Amino acid sequence: GFNLTGRTNVTIKNVIVTGWQYGFYLYYSSNNTLTNNTAYNNYYGFRIYGSNNTLTNNTAYNNTYVGGFYISGPYNTLINNTANNNWNGFCLGSSSYNNLSENTALNNWYGFKLYNSSSNTLHSNWAINSTTQAYRWDNDSTSNDFTGSVAANYLCVEVVGCAGVPLQGVEVKVVVDGVTVYASPGFEGTNATTGRDGKTPWIIVPFQTCISGTTFVENTTMVTVRVGELNAINSPREVNMATSHTEVFIVFIISFALDFMVELALWFFLSVQLTGFGNMGYLVVGVIFLVQAVLVGFFVLRKVGGWVVAAG
């Protein structure tokens, strides 16, 4: 990897490092700039012992030991970096007065972890699908500010019929605290409807947002499923986003024609009973007529479509 021990004012751009103990190692190094670099399949991605270093648009993934970005020192700046599938996404150890803004931690054990680190600013970062915890700090880490940072997870919306058959082309909308994060064309959006498997793609949905300092509040997520012109019953539904998961909507569809034919069959039951066929006679005739009505109704349903009467 790159070893910048004791170096200052060095710029490294557009470099890929893989298969080393350290991808990028800055030891007692200051005023260096790392931009658009990638470290993967190392023990450490970016290991910074030093001060006043700037890391922008770098990526660390599949680094197996401490993690993607490990900082020990003051006054470093990390902006718009990505850590994916590491032990720790971003880790501050015995560090203070660092600025981490608009960074993304994906699929790490911990998204952002601080120990013995105080007075750091971590604004508008995203920790997505963290295995253990999105943001973690110990009792020796004080006066840190996470304002605007988000803990999020993945959501897949699955829509099936009453027999478990996937429903393709269903309109889906996901709203978090009044803000639409996913909308298919039927909801005036550009995202996909459900596919042949009845599912949407995975959607990144916020679970908690820091409103000030270290105070995180839980977001409210509402999912609406629409078949044709009608929303499914139990839709919109509030969805708990504490973990990544698939949310299943079960939809029952009956056509207007089927509803009409069932009513006609029941009317025939009553008519036969009143005209005196005898108990067994009107029962047999009524059952035959009811079966025929159901078959006709489903035939019409296949031709003209139906409407949603229930969903779970």
Q: Residue 289 has what pLDDT?
A: 58
Higher-confidence residue of 201 and 267: namely 201
Domain ranges, ordered by start, for the chain: 2-146, 154-206+218-249, 256-311
Q: Residue 306 has what pLDDT?
A: 40
Q: Give the H/E segment covering residue 84.
A: strand 82-84
Asked whether residue 263 carries a pLDDT value surpassing 70, the answer given is no
Q: Residue 63 has what pLDDT?
A: 94
Q: Residue 268 has what pLDDT?
A: 60
Reported CATH class of domain 154-206+218-249: mainly beta
Model confidence band, residue 67 (pLDDT cutoffs 50, 70, 90): confident
Model confidence band, residue 244 (pLDDT cutoffs 50, 70, 90): very high
Asked whether residue 291 carries a pLDDT value surpassing 70, the answer given is no
Spatial distance between the Cα atoms of 297 and 309, rounded to a whole number of angstroms = 15
Average pLDDT score over residue span 290-312: 46
Which of 271, 292, 293, 295 is CA-nearest to residue 281?
271
Report whether CATH 3.30.930.10 matches the domain 2-146.
Answer: no
Average pLDDT, the chain: 87
Average pLDDT score over residue span 184-191: 97
